[in-house]
């Protein structure tokens, strides 16, 4: 078995992470096909990046403490570094990266195989399934404005809705389940429905999560990670996220800081889209495959960025329930408004908008 000095492993991990982000920035810049000069600069920069990576690899391999102790594991073949640099970006985003575990040691997360979009079976499919969109599952604060009141559904009302769904024979599915059906024809239960929660407020853990468990439903939670990192108590903590994920809840990215991504620089978009993905994956130890556009705002470049980062699908705030194999990056949803009585909720499920 190969044994490498921990310092070498950390250095190698840092080189790989830096290269991944650099390639992301470079690829994003090339979206504007009408700027060949920029494309030439990108090509020159990418060549330089590969050269830097090669030098770093050579430096690491020449260190005495990096020598392999076991002869049964072959050394990298010549040209392996250049070959790795040619790997498609969508695959690179899913490869190993280093993250600290509870003991402070570096843990390798091998997510590449799990993060590759399943190959379609060649059949075009269309599925009618409500993807419900929630935000706060709690009462709005006193004096809240109209927007906050509309985004806030009391926990008691949320439980009434879950009880109704259960009594009507609905079965919750994850976005993974939906995508596998559209891509490969995987079976779905009768009357499937997806429950999604945006932003990652604290009540997702204290209210929504236990109620979902009580009624046997699963949920998909789209979180932006900046408030979690800053330990904002109004939002989930990493411990909350880990416990919910371990219990079967699905997590997706809602960016790093929840900005409007339209009109932003390639570097800005790459940082927002990739960092949040890595942040979440480092804690739940599972691939993050789904994205939610902040405030529902996106354009062609943003969609390309999401696809380049290796996400399988993305949800919007557009009203609708029809999903096809061709709209995976623009899945529609149904917004559940605050103060929604059961009659109004039933109307939403029956498409009576």
Q: What is the pLDDT of residues 260-286, one digit of tens each?
A: 999 999 999 989 999 999 999 999 999
CATH code 1.10.10.10 for 126-349: no
Let me know how many helices (H) and strands (E) the chain has, helices first.
14, 12
Average pLDDT over residues 104-110: 41
pLDDT tier for residue 118 given thresholds of 50, 70 and 90? confident
> Distance (Å, rounded) from C-alpha 115 to C-alpha 290?
11
The pLDDT, as a whole number, for residue 341 is 85
- Burial zone of 246 (CB within 10 Å; 0-12 exposed, 13-18 middle, 19+ buried): exposed
Higher pLDDT pick, 251 / 29 = 251
The pLDDT, as a whole number, for residue 108 is 37
Average pLDDT over residues 110-114: 55
Higher pLDDT pick, 139 / 80 = 139
Average pLDDT over residues 189-209: 97
What residue spans of 230-341 are helical by DSSP H?
A: 238-246, 266-284, 300-308
pTM above 0.85, yes or no: no
């Amino acid at each position: 078995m190969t044994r490498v000095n921990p310092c070498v492993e950390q250095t190698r991990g840092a080189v790989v992470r830096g290269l991944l982000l650099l390639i992301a920035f470079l690829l994003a810049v090339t979206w504007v096909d009408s700027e060949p000069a920029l494309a030439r600069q990108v090509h020159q920069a990418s060549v330089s990046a590969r050269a830097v990576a090669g030098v770093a690899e050579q430096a690491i391999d020449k260190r005495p403490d990096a020598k392999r102790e076991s002869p049964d594991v072959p050394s990298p073949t010549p040209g392996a570094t250049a070959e790795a640099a040619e790997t498609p970006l969508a695959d690179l985003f899913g490869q190993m990266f280093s993250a600290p575990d509870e003991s402070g040691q570096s843990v390798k997360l091998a997510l590449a195989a799990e993060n590759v979009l399943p190959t379609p079976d060649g059949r075009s499919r269309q599925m009618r399934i409500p993807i419900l969109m929630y935000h706060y599952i709690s009462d709005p604060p006193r004096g809240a404005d109209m927007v906050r009141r509309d985004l806030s559904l009391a926990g008691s009302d949320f439980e009434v809705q879950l009880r109704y769904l259960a009594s009507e024979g609905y079965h919750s599915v994850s976005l993974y389940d939906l995508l596998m059906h559209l891509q490969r024809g995987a079976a779905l239960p009768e009357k499937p429905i997806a429950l999604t929660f945006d932003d990652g407020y604290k009540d997702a853990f204290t209210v929504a999560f236990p109620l979902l468990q009580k009624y046997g439903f699963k949920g998909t939670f789209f979180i932006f990670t900046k408030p979690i990192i800053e330990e904002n108590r109004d939002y989930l903590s990493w411990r909350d996220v880990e416990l919910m994920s371990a219990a079967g809840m699905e997590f997706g990215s809602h960016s790093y800081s929840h900005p409007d991504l339209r009109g932003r620089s390639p570097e800005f978009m790459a940082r927002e889209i990739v960092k949040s993905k890595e942040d979440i994956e480092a804690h739940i130890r599972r691939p993050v495959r789904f994205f939610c556009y902040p405030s529902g705002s996106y354009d062609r470049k943003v969609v390309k960025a999401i696809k380049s980062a290796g996400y399988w699908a993305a949800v919007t705030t557009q009203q609708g329930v029809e999903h096809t194999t061709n709209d995976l990056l623009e899945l529609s949803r149904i917004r559940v408004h605050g103060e929604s009585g059961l009659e109004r909720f039933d109307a939403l499920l029956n498409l009576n908008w």
